[in-house]
Amino acid sequence: MPELPEVETIRSHLAPHVEGRTLEAIEIRDPRWSRPLAPAELEDALRGRRVDRLSRRGKYLIWELEDDVYLLMHLRMTGALLLDPAEPSKHARVLMTLGEHLLVFDDPRRFGTGELALGPEALEAFFDARLGVEPLAREFTAEHLYALARASRAPIKAFLLDQKKIAGVGNIYADEALFRARIHPLRPANRITRAQAEALRDAVVASLMAGLAAKGATIDDFRDPYGVSGTFQDQFLVHLREHEPCPNCGTPVRKLRAAGRGTYVCETCQTRPRAPRKKRVAAA
C-alpha cells in the first residue's frame, strides 16, 4: 500500500499539471470507487470545477476544487494515478480530463476509493474521524508521541500503523523507523521510555524523509504518475531483508508477525521485550 512518501511523490508530480485547470470530464467506471455515492452523483459534483490545489493528508490525496468542494482519493493496495499513459490502462476505474491531460486511476484489486466532502467543516470532520497527527508537521514532537504511546497497550508496531494515532506511516516505514530507534516491534507502546519516544520520533521522520528523497518504494505496484518506480526499496535497512546481515551488527534479520503484518527486525539491536511475570497463586 502506498504510504506517506509515495502519496506525496504522486502529489508533487501531479500538482503542476492539474492545479489551475478545470476538471472538464470525469468517468467513474467502477461503482465501488465512489461508494456510498453513485458514480453519477460524484461526477456531477466535480465536473466543470477548477482545481485550486492538490494536497495530502496522511495517505489521502486531496483535490481542492472551487467552491470548497473536495475529492478525497485513497490508493489503498494497488491504486495508481497515471498521467497521459502511452497505452490504454488494463485496470482503469476512473478517467479524468483536465485540458490536454488525461489522468487514469488504475487499480487491479479495486480497493481504492474516491470520497466527497462539501465545505471545510465536512473536510475537517472527515479527517478528524480517521487520522491523527501528521508525522512531518511541527505538532509531531517526542512529547506528543510519548503521550500517545502511554495511552496504548498495543505493540509499538501496531501503534505506529494506527492511522488515528499517526497519519501516513505504514508497514515499510514502521519497520525502518523501529530499527533506527532500536525498539523491538513487539514492545508494548506504553512501555517505551521518554528517551525511546524521542529516538522513535526522529526515526519516523528520518525514514519518511529518506523515502521522499527516493520518490517512494516500489515493491509490487507503486508507480509515480509517469509510470516510474521509486527507489527506496534499494535502501531498506531491515524491511524485506530476512536472513540478510543487520547493517549495524551483522546478525541475520528475522521476520516475524506483528500487528498482523510481516515484520522485519534485528533482535540484537532491537532487544525483544521480556514477557510479563505470572503472578503466583497463594497456596490454600
36-60 pLDDT tens trace: 999 999 999 999 999 999 999 999 9
The whole-chain average pLDDT of the chain stands at: 93
pLDDT at 54: 98
Distance separating alpha carbons of residues 261 and 259, to the nearest angstrom:
5
pLDDT at 2: 86
pLDDT at 135: 98
Contact 21, 97 (CB under 8 A): no
Q: Which of 182, 242, 261, 267 is catalytic?
A: 261
- In this structure, which amino acid lies at residue 274? R
pTM, two decimal places:
0.91
Q: Which of 2, 135, 155, 225 is catalytic?
A: 2
pLDDT at 221: 61
Q: Catalytic: 124? A: no
Low-confidence ranges of the chain (pLDDT < 70): 1, 219-226, 228-229, 276-284
Q: Catalytic: 176? A: no
For 97-106, the pLDDT digits (tens) are: 999 999 999 9
Q: Catalytic: 242? A: no
Give burial (CB, 10 Å; 0-12/13-18/19+) of 137: exposed
Pick the CATH number of 142-265 from 1.10.8.50, 1.10.510.10, 1.10.1200.120, 3.40.920.10: 1.10.8.50
pLDDT at 220: 60
Report the CATH superfamily, name and number, of domain 4-128: MutM-like, N-terminal (3.20.190.10)
Q: Which of 49, 59, 157, 201 is catalytic?
A: 59
Q: Catalytic: 3? A: yes
Q: Where are the domains of the chain?
A: 4-128, 142-265
pLDDT at 224: 62
